[in-house]
Structure 1
Amino acid sequence: MQIFRPAVRPNARLSATIASVVAGAVALGAMLASPPARAEEAAPIDEIGISAQPVNDDGPIRTRFDYQIGPGQSLEDGYNVSNRGTAAQTFSVFATDAFNTDEGAFSLLDTGVAPTDAGAWVSFSGEPSVQVTLQPGESTTIPFTMRVPDDATPGDHAGGLVASVQSPDGQVIVDRRLGTRLYVRVPGDLQPNLSIAGISASYTPNVNPFAGETTITYTVRNAGNVALSGDLKAEVRGLFGIPLAAPVQEELSEMLPGSTRTVTTTISGVGQWVYLNPLVTVYPRVDETAPNPGPLLSVSRDTVVFAVPWLLLGLILLALLVWGGLRLSRRRNDARAKEWMEHAEAEARRKAETERESVSAGSGA
């Protein structure tokens, strides 16, 4: 953040009036000796810049701290802090615990909140924090000690090292922090375990009975003691496991032990096939820099949704009613035609009989 210092500008109009009065009262040389009114140059802007990273001497470049230490053991390491700003700054360096936000981001405890896990295992010459003042462009390496308590539980413990600069901004103190991830793997019974704690689904129909949407909501839980990320796959199947739409795949960012995350996925192009079987699968993995925790098993969970094509059924019912009405009308017409034919035949027979009787009567006479 840039802090501006306003320049001081004299009142130009008042200065001009005074200069005119002096010019009328004294000699021309005295007037020429009067300095013109001008604005002072703006003060330089102080920019605060922080750079901090693990020490990378002769080994591979590190972007985070990864340790595998047993209970009661300790090690030494260093944190390189640099002042990238334009003014001298006092840095506070400390360690704290990490957690996952509701959105799944890796985050650190606020400044002033005491850590209880991996952040509490770091000390700077026996102190929980250290302060150092650096000139612009100056860097320094801050040594620290990581000691794992005797009663530390097996698995991953996450935290972060923080370089903080506090500066006033009006009446507010702004805390600018830069953190570096810190992971401690305590050997023992490692249990990499991502599970699906719950799942629900709903169906949104479309005018086109084959273009609906299925929305799946489920909760992923890291029920083990190893930090895991993974890949998610959501799909919808029908009877006999027949796929009804293209599956949706997405990435699951790292989840720390004990954390949960709710995921909502929408699958398009799902027809109204009455019986729908939404299914989600989690394929866990670990960060490429983390130690191998052993076999990682995928986990799946499904549910059932009924998508009845009411519109299609309504059209079919209407078509059946029309067909039935036409068939009934045709039957009635056929019956009436048959009755008329029978009546006509009966009349013809009656007339013929009458004519024969008339002819017979005439012959007898």
Structure 2
Amino acid sequence: MRLLAAVAIGIALLGAAPTPPTPASPAASAPSVVTWGVAPSTAKGPNGRPAFAYKLDPGATLTDYVAVTNHSARPLTLNLYASDAFTTTQGGFDLLAGDRRPTDVGAWVRFTQRTLTIPSTSRLNVPFTLTVPANATPGDHAGGIVASLAATTADAQGNQVAVDHRVGARIYLRVTGELRPALTVKNLRVRHAGSLNPLGGGTLTATFTIRNTGNVRLTGQPTLTAAGPFGVGRRSIDAAALPEILPGGELITTVRMTGVPPLFRLTASAAVTPATVGDQVLDPPPQGGTAQTTVWAVPWPQLVLLALLALVGWALVAARRRRARQVAQALAAAREEGRAEASRQTDPNDSATIDDRTSRQDLTPPRLGSKQ
């Protein structure tokens, strides 16, 4: 049972489940719905307090009242007791199971009567005493006063199951003495999920435990920081504020950071900045904690893109060199052909023949009688 509010309404479905094969009559098959509430009170009735909040010295005793109200149209018999509180791993405020014996503030509460029979639509203002042991440790002690209704119901297989319906109000007791407010971070686990987009970053997911190692209930602000080698690409993100964590309690939180560049090896740091619950002022101020680990973030898409670019660049260089060789070969062939042509034009034998022919033509005398 999670104790969510000081004045809560319990709803229990009463009546035995029909046993096949004998069908139940309509009147017998309709269970009765009963509701009841628990709230801090005075001898005259509830006074609007959200919880039982006290600050006492070791050895001190006080008397207070709890109002148990039956909102149903029939009498209701309830069990009244106190129990110790704890923080669930999801950050909820819960009480020990009804069959577990309290050892803290739940054991310091005494009632004059443990069983109540409340008439329909009526309220009882029940007194109780709270006695702080002389050796009680300083700091916050949390618990709750519970009014429970035991009932039986049938599970999916038709078996009879005992169910304890509980409604209660919180108790916050601070025992005077030295306060040591502190939160620590442990069990940091980080993983990096890359993106298929080589131009985008991946997602860094960090899961860690925040534990209240002090003696004061605290809340806080978790922060996740990630950076590559030598602090390259350093980024930080704040997670949602924490619910209250009771002394000795712990919860697990998860923080996600998107757009984280894959820089091969990332260093991730989880930290928590403690804060007080409500408007209380603590002296000394709360101490925070940090945890650090590393995670591989290999940029596979970027490496593939780089390999493709390198392959394209190599192909372009190879094609350019091939064209350069072809051009060089063509120029060499042209030069060789030019040399051959020039050699043919300057051959000595060919020149002598031409000169002799020219000389003979020049030495032939003109014919007489021809017209000049």
Same fold, judged at TM 0.5 (above)? yes
Shift in CA distance, 324/242, structure 1 to aligned 2, threshold 3 Å: closer
Alignment of 1:150-299 (within 5 A): 150-169=134-153, 171-209=160-198, 210-237=200-227, 240=231, 242=233, 244=235, 247-274=237-264, 276-288=266-278, 292=282, 294-299=284-289
Shift in CA distance, 158/291, structure 1 to aligned 2, threshold 3 Å: farther
Ranked by relative contact order (alpha carbons within 8 Å, sequence separation 6 or more), the top structure is 2
State whether residues 36 and 70 of structure 2, in contact with CA within 8 Å, keep that contact through their aligned partners in structure 1.
yes
- Give the drift of 1:342: 2.3
Shift in CA distance, 74/111, structure 1 to aligned 2, threshold 3 Å: same
Give the Cα separation in 1 of the matches to 2:170 and 2:226. 38
> Structure 1 counterpart of 2:36, which letter?
I
Give the Cα separation in 2 of the matches to 1:242 and 1:283. 23
Deviations 1:153-194 (A, max 9, x none): 122222111112224547544322112111221222211111
Alignment of 1:1-365 (within 5 A): 1-3=12-14, 42=27, 46-55=32-41, 61-125=48-112, 130-169=114-153, 171-209=160-198, 210-237=200-227, 240=231, 242=233, 244=235, 247-274=237-264, 276-288=266-278, 292=282, 294-357=284-347, 358-362=349-353
> Structure 2 counterpart of 1:106, which letter?
F
Which residue in 1 is equivalent to 2:157? none
State whether residues 186 and 291 of structure 2, in contact with CA within 8 Å, keep that contact through their aligned partners in structure 1.
no
State whether residues 16 and 153 of structure 2, in contact with CA within 8 Å, keep that contact through their aligned partners in structure 1.
no
**Rg larger for:** 2
Give the Cα separation in 2 of the matches to 1:58 and 1:4. 31
Q: What TM-score, normalized by structure 2, do the two folds share?
A: 0.77
State whether residues 37 and 168 of structure 2, in contact with CA within 8 Å, keep that contact through their aligned partners in structure 1.
no
> Structure 1 counterpart of 2:64, which letter?
D
State whether residues 248 and 267 of structure 1, in contact with CA within 8 Å, keep that contact through their aligned partners in structure 2.
no
Which deviates the most, 58-67 or 175-184?
A: 58-67
Deviations 1:258-315 (A, max 9, x none): 2222222222233334454434332222322767464124444443334332222222
Give the Cα separation in 1 of the matches to 2:16 and 2:190. 58
Give the Cα separation in 1 of the matches to 2:252 and 2:133. 33
Report the count of equivalent residues.
328
Aligned-pair RMSD on alpha carbons? 3.0
> Structure 2 counterpart of 1:48, which letter?
V
Shift in CA distance, 276/81, structure 1 to aligned 2, threshold 3 Å: same
Which residue in 2 is equivalent to 1:20? none
Give the Cα separation in 2 of the matches to 1:72 and 1:192. 23
State whether residues 233 and 250 of structure 1, in contact with CA within 8 Å, keep that contact through their aligned partners in structure 2.
no
Deviations 1:239-270 (A, max 9, x none): 6465558x352121221222222222222233
- Give the drift of 1:363: 5.5
State whether residues 66 and 290 of structure 1, in contact with CA within 8 Å, keep that contact through their aligned partners in structure 2.
no
Structure 2 spans left out of the alignment, 5+ residues: 1-11, 18-24, 155-159, 357-372
Give the Cα separation in 1 of the matches to 2:239 and 2:116. 47
Give the Cα separation in 2 of the matches to 1:299 and 1:41. 61
- Give the drift of 1:339: 3.1
- Give the drift of 1:329: 2.6
> Structure 2 counterpart of 1:157, which letter?
H
Shift in CA distance, 203/169, structure 1 to aligned 2, threshold 3 Å: closer
> Structure 2 counterpart of 1:339, which letter?
Q
